[in-house]
C-alpha cells in the first residue's frame, strides 16, 4: 500500500465528515482550483476577486470581461466533473470534449468564427507552445492519438494516482485543442482522482515556473520524474486540508 493509499484509507475511515465543515472546505477548494488554474494561463483576478465572482456573482471593477468569463467557464468545467465523477470510472472522448466546451462556453458568441468552431472539438491547425522547444503532434494525428490515450488510461486499473497524472500529461502532450489544453488537462486529472475517492490536485500559480519546467522536461524525457513529484506534492497539500476536518 502506497503512502497516498494509506492516507485515503484514513480519510475514508473518518467519513462522513461534518456537513457544514465539509461544505466550507469544498467551497474553498473550488475557488482555489478555479483561481490557480486560470491564473496559470494569465488571468488577472486575485483569489479574493475570484471568490466574489463565483460566490456573489459580482463584477470586479477594472478587470477585463474576458477574465471574468474565463473564471465562470472554468468553474462550469469544475462543477461538471464534480457532477459526473461517481459514474466516470471509464474515461471517454465525450467527457474530454465536454470539459473543453464548458471552459469556453461563455465565449461562444463573441469569438471569431474559426476560433469559436474549435470549442469542444479537436484542433484542425498546427499549434505552438510559447517558450517551449516541444512541438505538439500534427493535428491530423489527434483523433488517433486521443483514442490511444483514452484506451491506455482506461487500461490502468490499480494505480489511480499514476493514471490521473498521466492523463494530465498525455492531454498536454497531444495538445488536442487550439486553446485551453492546460485547463482541460488539469480538470481531467481531477476528474480521475475524484472518481477514485481522492482529493483534487490544485496546481498552484505561485509554482507556475516549476510546473511549466517540469512539463517541458517530461516532454523531452519520458523518464523525468519532476512533474510527478510536483503533482504529488500538491496532492499532499489537499490531503492535509481534509485531515483538518477530523484532527
Alpha-carbon distance 106 to 2, whole Å?
41
Is 61 a known ligand-binding residue? no
Neighbours of 16 (CB within 10 A): 6
Is 184 a known ligand-binding residue? yes
Among residues 35, 100, 175, 219, the one annotated as catalytic is 175
Scan for cell 500500500, then name that residue.
1
Alpha-carbon distance 49 to 94, whole Å?
32
φ and ψ of 45, to 5 deg: -70, 135
Is 185 a known ligand-binding residue? yes
Neighbours of 239 (CB within 10 A): 16
Task: Say how many Å lie between the first and final Cα of the chain, rounded.
Answer: 23
Burial class (CB in 10 A: 0-12, 13-18, 19+), 149: buried
Told to judge if 175 belongs to the known catalytic residues of this protein, a careful annotator would answer: yes
Is 181 a known ligand-binding residue? yes
φ and ψ of 46, to 5 deg: -75, 175
Cell of 96: 474530454
Nearest to 74 by CA among 111, 118, 30: 30
144 Cα distance to chain centroid: 22
Alpha-carbon distance 1 to 105, whole Å?
41
For the annotated catalytic residues, the residue numbers are 175
Annotated binding site for ATP, which residues?
179-186
Annotated binding site, which residues?
179-186
Amino acid at each position: 500500500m502506497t503512502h497516498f493509499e494509506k492516507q485515503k484509507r484514513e480519510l475514508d475511515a473518518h467519513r462522513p465528515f461534518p456537513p457544514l465543515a465539509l461544505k466550507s472546505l469544498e467551497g474553498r477548494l473550488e475557488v482555489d482550483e478555479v483561481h490557480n488554474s486560470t491564473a496559470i494561463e494569465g488571468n488577472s483576478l486575485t483569489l479574493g476577486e475570484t471568490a466574489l465572482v463565483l460566490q456573489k456573482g459580482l463584477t470586479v471593477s477594472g478587470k477585463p470581461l474576458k477574465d471574468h468569463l474565463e473564471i465562470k467557464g472554468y468553474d462550469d468545467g469544475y462543477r461538471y466533473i464534480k457532477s459526473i465523477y461517481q459514474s466516470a470510472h471509464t474515461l471517454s472522448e465525450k467527457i474530454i470534449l465536454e470539459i473543453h466546451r464548458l471552459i469556453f462556453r461563455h465565449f461562444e458568441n463573441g469569438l471569431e468564427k474559426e476560433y469559436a468552431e474549435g470549442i469542444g472539438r479537436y484542433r484542425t491547425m498546427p499549434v505552438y507552445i510559447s517558450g517551449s522547444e516541444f512541438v505538439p503532434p500534427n493535428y491530423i494525428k489527434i483523433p488517433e492519438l486521443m483514442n490511444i490515450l483514452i484506451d491506455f488510461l482506461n487500461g490502468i486499473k490499480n494505480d489511480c494516482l499514476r493514471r490521473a497524472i498521466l492523463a494530465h500529461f498525455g492531454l498536454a502532450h497531444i495538445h488536442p485543442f487550439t486553446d485551453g489544453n492546460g485547463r482541460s488537462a488539469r480538470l481531467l486529472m481531477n476528474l480521475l482522482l475524484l472518481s477514485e475517492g481522492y482529493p483534487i490536485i490544485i496546481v498552484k500559480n505561485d509554482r507556475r515556473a516549476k510546473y511549466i519546467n517540469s512539463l517541458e522536461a517530461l516532454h523531452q524525457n519520458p523518464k523525468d520524474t519532476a512533474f510527478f513529484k510536483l503533482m504529488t506534492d500538491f496532492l499532499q497539500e489537499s490531503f492535509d486540508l481534509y485531515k483538518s476536518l477530523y484532527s
